[in-house]
Amino acid sequence: MIGFVVQVGAELWSIFYGLKLAWEKVHMKHVVVECDSQEAVNVVTNPDPDFWLADLVALIKNLENEAWDSCRIEHVSKDENEAATVLVNSQLDGEGGVMKLANALGFMPSVLVADIA
């Protein structure tokens, strides 16, 4: 159960901060959040007021309901999203937070091509 709690909590915080960044800083109008945790997507899609992170889910729903032209939160399998795994692993520095990916153009084209295949 602890693994579930940590994973779902981490995924929900990632969804929240991703949407917050897209809305407040980048001013995107069309957003698709791809999450490899089906449990996290289910929690956001079908909110439960008794869920232990119901307040965080409410914050996500508030962001999802902003004046986007379109905003979706979808499940994608880890196998279908190798690019996200490579980006995360390339930027782990033990401090967390948002990081600039200055060197991503050097290694991402081949990863994206592999993701398409």
First to last CA, the chain: 35
Task: Tell me: do 8 and 59 sit in the same domain.
Answer: yes
Task: Tell me: do 95 and 51 sit in the same domain.
Answer: no
Task: Tell me: do 89 and 33 sit in the same domain.
Answer: no
Q: What is the pLDDT of residues 30-80, one digit of tens each?
A: 888 888 889 999 999 999 999 999 999 999 999 999 989 999 999 988 777
Q: Which range of residues forms the domain containing residue 116? A: 80-117
pTM for the predicted model, two decimal places: 0.71
Task: Tell me: do 72 and 85 sit in the same domain.
Answer: no
Task: Tell me: do 23 and 41 sit in the same domain.
Answer: yes
What CA–CA distance (Å, rounded) separates 55 from 47?
Answer: 10
The 8-class DSSP code of residue 75 comes to E
What CA–CA distance (Å, rounded) separates 37 from 77?
Answer: 8
Task: Tell me: do 93 and 55 sit in the same domain.
Answer: no
- What lies within 8 Å, CB to CB, of 95 at 6+ separation is none
Task: Tell me: do 58 and 114 sit in the same domain.
Answer: no
Task: Tell me: do 4 and 51 sit in the same domain.
Answer: yes
Task: Tell me: do 71 and 116 sit in the same domain.
Answer: no
In this predicted structure, the answer to whether residue 3 has a pLDDT above a threshold of 60 is no
Task: Look at the chain and report how many structural domains it folds into.
Answer: 2
Query: In whole angstroms, how large is the CA radius of gyration of the chain?
Result: 15
Q: What are phi and psi of 66, to 5 degrees?
A: -65, 180
